[in-house]
């Protein structure tokens, strides 16, 4: 991503998701301060070349408060303004979607592109090494889908 002043990048790759996928992310990237804006880019490419609409929910982890929800589309780069959900600087957002998978990218900028930051979160399986990591991922997703009752 390039502005007149600077550029920012992340290393990533994507293989098309099955349309049965889901999404859970715990991003810590929201920054506060004068002139700082925070966005999320939800990138979806699916095996099925169609355009589906689903809902993504935004919760605060400690209180389990629902901060908002937004419609997103498959085979699309969904741009979401994160500041609209009014998370505090110590909050841990939980962002989830039961029926669509994404590569979640988080973009912050200060002074309209003078300084920029871009990074992605790992899927929940990254909290574990070796063993049945994807069983762990399924467990974490089920735990939070039940806990947040969506």
**Where on the chain is the footprint of another protein (CB under 8 A)?**
5-11, 26, 28-29, 31, 33-36, 61-62, 89-92, 106, 108-110, 114-122, 124, 126-133, 135-136, 139-140, 143
Nearer to another protein, 84 or 126 (CB): 126
Q: Answer for the pair 107, 78: CB distance below 8 angstroms, yes or no.
A: no
Q: Minimum Å distance from CB 116 to another protein?
A: 7
Q: Minimum Å distance from CB 150 to another protein?
A: 17
Nearer to another protein, 79 or 92 (CB): 92
Q: Minimum Å distance from CB 46 to another protein?
A: 24
Nearer to another protein, 11 or 50 (CB): 11
Residues linked to residue 96 through DSSP beta bridges, in sequence order? 24, 57
129 Cβ contact partners less than 8 Å away, ≥ 6 residues apart: none
Nearer to another protein, 26 or 73 (CB): 26
Q: Answer for the pair 42, 72: CB distance below 8 angstroms, yes or no.
A: yes
Structure tokens at 130: 């070796």
Q: Minimum Å distance from CB 58 to another protein?
A: 15
Burial class (CB in 10 A: 0-12, 13-18, 19+), 86: exposed
DSSP 101: -
């Amino acid at each position: 991503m390039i502005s007149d002043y600077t550029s920012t990048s992340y290393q990533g790759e994507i293989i098309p998701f099955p349309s049965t996928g889901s999404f859970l992310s715990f991003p810590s990237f929201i920054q506060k301060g004068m002139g700082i804006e925070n966005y999320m880019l939800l990138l979806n490419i699916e095996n099925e070349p169609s355009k589906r609409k689903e809902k993504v929910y935004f919760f605060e982890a400690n209180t389990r408060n629902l901060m908002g929800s937004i419609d997103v589309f498959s085979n699309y780069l969904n741009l979401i303004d994160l500041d609209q959900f009014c998370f505090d600087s110590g909050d841990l957002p939980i962002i989830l979607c039961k029926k669509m998978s994404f590569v979640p990218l988080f973009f912050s900028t200060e002074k309209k592109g003078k300084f920029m930051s871009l990074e992605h979160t790992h899927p929940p399986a990254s909290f574990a090494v070796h063993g049945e990591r994807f069983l762990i991922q399924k467990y974490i997703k089920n735990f939070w889908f039940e806990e947040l009752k969506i």
